[in-house]
Amino acid sequence: MVDETRLEASNILLDKITEHKLDFDIIATTIKENSVISTYISSALGKELEFISIEPIMLDNNGESLIVGSICFDGTVWLDRQFSERENLDEELNNQLKKEMSKSRSVAETKLGQPKSDNYSNQFKDKNVLIVEEGIINNRDLMPAIGLMKKQGARNITVCSPVAPRDVVLDINTLVDSSLILNQPYFLESIEEFYEENKKSKENRREAI
């Protein structure tokens, strides 16, 4: 059963995309399974939907797993600020990071259903790309995806989503040509939090009628 709140968000975002007359050749998303919004919009607009396989990079932190960045299937990587200057890391940590990056990249490649990423080396070349996400909590997934598109020579990149925190939107806008984020709260703990709040609000309106 399709989540009503996501279907509603799909229609609202679709209306805004049409209203803004966004020019694009291809739609992309970092969510492979149950991606209601990107699937709905690509189908409604008759555009190809490309899945960009991204995996988190995790390090052991006193027995707990700590996400320190993410990596794309082609090796495009984004690391949290404290890990981005790898020459300043000690040798043991650097080696651990290198090992985990390699593991995460292999998982990302596997999710494409291809043993290698050779067939995906020019999927965004000279194209206007519309990235559609269910919601954006941070930039960990988007950064390597945007990096991949720029590396391949995308002509134009636009990011669309029903929701993303305001500070994340500001970061996104420094990297892409444009963005269309419908809700920009100061704080957002999870994507489900946003959709659950919308669901409760809708139920309350029904009860009030």
SS (H, E, C) 62-83: CCEEEEEEEEECCCCEEECHHH
pLDDT of residue 34: 67
Domain shared by 131 and 184, yes or no:
yes
Domain shared by 165 and 71, yes or no:
no
Domain extent for 77 = 56-111
Domain shared by 147 and 170, yes or no:
yes
Q: Is residue 163 part of a domain?
A: yes
pLDDT of residue 119: 60
Residue 112 banded pLDDT, cuts 50, 70, 90: confident
What CATH number did the domain enclosing 45 receive? 3.40.50.2020
Q: Which residues of 28-51 are buried (b: 16+ CB within 10 A; e: fewer)?
A: bbbbeeebbbbbbbbeeeeeebbb
Q: Is residue 191 part of a domain?
A: yes
Q: Which residues pair with 161 in a beta bridge?
A: 181
Q: Does the structure show a pLDDT above 50 at 2?
A: no
Domain shared by 145 and 194, yes or no:
yes
Q: Is residue 174 part of a domain?
A: yes
pLDDT of residue 138: 87
Structurally, the chain folds into a number of domains equal to 2
All residues at 6 or more sequence positions from 202 whose CB lies less than 8 Å from its CB, including other chains: 4, 5, 8
Domain shared by 133 and 67, yes or no:
no
Domain shared by 92 and 177, yes or no:
no
Q: Does the structure show a pLDDT above 90 at 201?
A: no
**199 — phi, psi (to 5°)?**
-65, -45
Mean pLDDT of 183-193: 90
Q: Is residue 118 part of a domain?
A: no
Average pLDDT, the chain: 86
Mean pLDDT of 42-69: 89
Domain shared by 101 and 32, yes or no:
no
Domain shared by 77 and 166, yes or no:
no
DSSP 140-187: TTHHHHHHHHHHHT-SEEEEEEEE--HHHHHHHHTTSSEEEEEE--S-
pLDDT of residue 1: 40
**Which of 25-34, 106-115, 162-171 shows the lowest per-residue confidence on average (mean pLDDT)?**
106-115
Q: Does the structure show a pLDDT above 90 at 162?
A: yes
Domain shared by 187 and 84, yes or no:
no
Residue 145 banded pLDDT, cuts 50, 70, 90: very high
Within 13 Å of residue 194, how many CA atoms lie on the same side as its CB? Answer: 22
